[in-house]
Amino acid sequence: MASGTGVVHPVTRWLLRRAAQAGVTLVVVTVLLFFLMRLAPGDPLGQLGDERQYTQAQLAVLRHLYHTDQPLLRQLASWAMALLHGDLGSSFSEHRPVTALIAERLPATLQLGGTVLLVNFTLGLWLGAVQAVRRGGWIDRWLTTLSLAGFAMPSFWLGLMLAWLVGVKWRLLPPGGIANPLLGPDTPWWILATDRLAHLILPAATLVIVSIAITMRYQRRAMLEVLPLPYIVAARAKGLPESVVRRHHAWRNALFPVLTLVGLWLPILVTGSVFVEAVFAWPGLGSLAAEAIGRRDYPLLMGTGMLVSAMVIGGGLLTDVAYALLDPRVRWA
């Protein structure tokens, strides 16, 4: 354990090692995903529920066209080869490259997920800190009750209620979709922007209400544990104003579980909440992935599955790095 110039090397080495591990995990998960998917019964090429189903001969033709009649390992190999060229294949149900599909849906998901995360980590952290500081008071109890009530609600129920109340009954905001189709490409930008905002409010509110409890509770707990700690007391004794104490010292250490939360939240950012996307007809990755599962759209599933896995593994990596950078004691461990 040294300080000064020797500091960089052990940390970088550790970082590289962690990153390599993450990479290997991703590869293993991807291969597992590939086989799991094809093991599940169901053929993406047949027709759902129509009386006139395909004959075996016709199905054979389709399988040949889509290359699903090849041996599994060969399919995996060709998929992997294409991947190295940046080609994720073509979706069975959308008949277009998977990369294009994901690129189209990703902005919608990021918009929604990003907004939710933003509100969570501003409003949520603030409210959690409020609870910690006013612990035991009526604000603390009410915030707990309200946030937990929100958390306990099924997201699709809450979404439906909001969509119906605000969208249908009061007609304040649109009850679904991401944009108004009647606005052609030549509409002024500010109208398009306000239209987007109008469509964003309800689904974001739904997700925030059901999730803010988590952030608030962890922030509250973390701050409570940290506030009376010796070095905080010492800082106070030194004469530092309370606000500075809170801001610099308590917050730093209170951020640990929250950082873990960020790591766990990252995949949610990408897949969104499938239920909320369904209720509000939000064209995000979550609903794309859910439909793809039902239709056994292998290329699309692989693409989205890999993306989610990458986000999760990346999230874990980020959290570990953040821990290491933030707490000097941990780094030297």
Partner 1 sequence: MGLTDFIRQLLAAVWRRPAGRVGLSTLGIVLIAALAAPPFLPDPAAQPDIVEQASLPPGAGHPFGTDQLSRDILARVAWGGRISLAVAGLAVVLSATIGAGVGLVAGYLGGLVDTALMRLVDAALAIPRLFILLLLLVVWERIPLPALILILGTTGWFGTSRLVRGEVLRLRHEPFVTGAEALGARRTRVMFRHLFPNTLGPLLVAATLGVGEVILLEAGLSFLGLGIQPPTPSWGGMILDAKPVLITAPWTGLFPGLAIVVTVLAVNLVGDALAGAVNPRES
Partner 2 sequence: MPSLKSGLAVARLAAALVALARAGPLAGQSHDRDALVIVTGQQATMPIPTFMEGPANLTANADVADQLFLRLAEPPPDAMTTDERRFVPVLAKSWTRRDSLTLAFDLDPRARWHDGHPVTARDVVFTFERARNSEIAPKLAGLLRHVAAVTAEGDRRVVFRFDRVYAEQFYDATFNVSPIPSHLVPAGATVANPPKDFVANPVGDGPYRWVRSVPGQFIELAANPDFLLGAPRIKRLFFRTAAETDARINLLLSGEADAIDNISTPVANVERVAAIPDLRIVPLASPLLGYLLFNQRDRTDRSKPHPILSDPNVRRAIALAIDRYPIVRSVFGQYGEVPYGPASQALWIRHGAPKAAGADTAQARRLLVKSGWFDRDGDGIVERDGRPLELTLSFPLTSEVRKQIASQVQEQLRRIGIRIDLARLEGQVWIDRRTRGDFDIDFSSATQDPTPSGLTQSWSCHGGSNVAGYCDPVVDSLLDRAIAMRSGSGPLWQEILRRIEASQPAVFVYAPSFVYAVNRRFTKVVLRPESSWLLVREWSTR
Q: Which stretch binds partner 1 (CB under 8 A): 77-85, 90-98, 113-121, 213-221?
A: 213-221
Q: How far is the CB of 147 from partner 2 (least distance, A)?
A: 14
CA distance 252 to 171: 44
Q: Residues 76, 281, 318, 321: which binds partner 2 (CB under 8 A)?
A: 281
Of these partners, partner 1, partner 2, none, which one is at the site of residue 174 (CB under 5 to 8 Å by kind)?
partner 2
49 counts as binding partner 2 under rule CB under 8 A: yes
Instruction: Name which of 172 and 330 has its Cβ closer to partner 1.
Output: 330
Question: Considering only residues 211-270, where is the footprint of partner 2 by CB under 8 A?
Answer: none
C-alpha torsion 188→189→191→195, nearest 10: 140
Q: Quote the distance between the C-alpha of residue 153 and its chain's center.
A: 19
Nearest CA among 64, 57, 214 for reference residue 147: 214
| Residue 90, helix vs strand vs coil | strand
- Which H or E run includes 23? helix 8-39
Of these partners, partner 1, partner 2, none, which one is at the site of residue 276 (CB under 5 to 8 Å by kind)?
none
42 counts as binding partner 2 under rule CB under 8 A: yes
Q: How far is the CB of 330 from partner 2 (least distance, A)?
A: 29
Q: Which stretch binds partner 2 (CB under 8 A): 21-29, 94-102, 206-214, 253-261?
A: 94-102
Instruction: Name which of 13 and 134 has its Cβ closer to partner 2.
Output: 134
Residues 6+ apart with CB under 8 A from 113: 268, 269, 270, 272
Q: Quote the distance between the C-alpha of residue 228 and its chain's center.
A: 34
Token representation of residue 243: 């606000």
36 counts as binding partner 1 under rule CB under 8 A: yes
Residues 6+ apart with CB under 8 A from 227: 132, 246, 250
25 counts as binding partner 1 under rule CB under 8 A: yes
Cα separation values, 138 from 86, 220, 286, 289, Å: 56, 15, 38, 43
Report the alpha-carbon angle 313-317-321, nearest 5.
170
Q: Which stretch binds partner 1 (CB under 8 A): 54-62, 147-155, 177-185, 199-207?
A: 147-155
Token representation of residue 107: 């902005």
Q: How far is the CB of 54 from partner 2 (least distance, A)?
A: 7
**Binding region for partner 1 (CB under 8 A):** 21-22, 25-26, 28-29, 32-33, 36-37, 39-41, 135, 141, 144-145, 148-149, 151-154, 156-157, 160-161, 164, 213-214, 217-218, 221, 224-225, 228-229, 253, 256-257, 260, 263-264, 267, 271, 293, 305, 308-309, 312-313, 316, 319, 323, 327, 329-330, 333
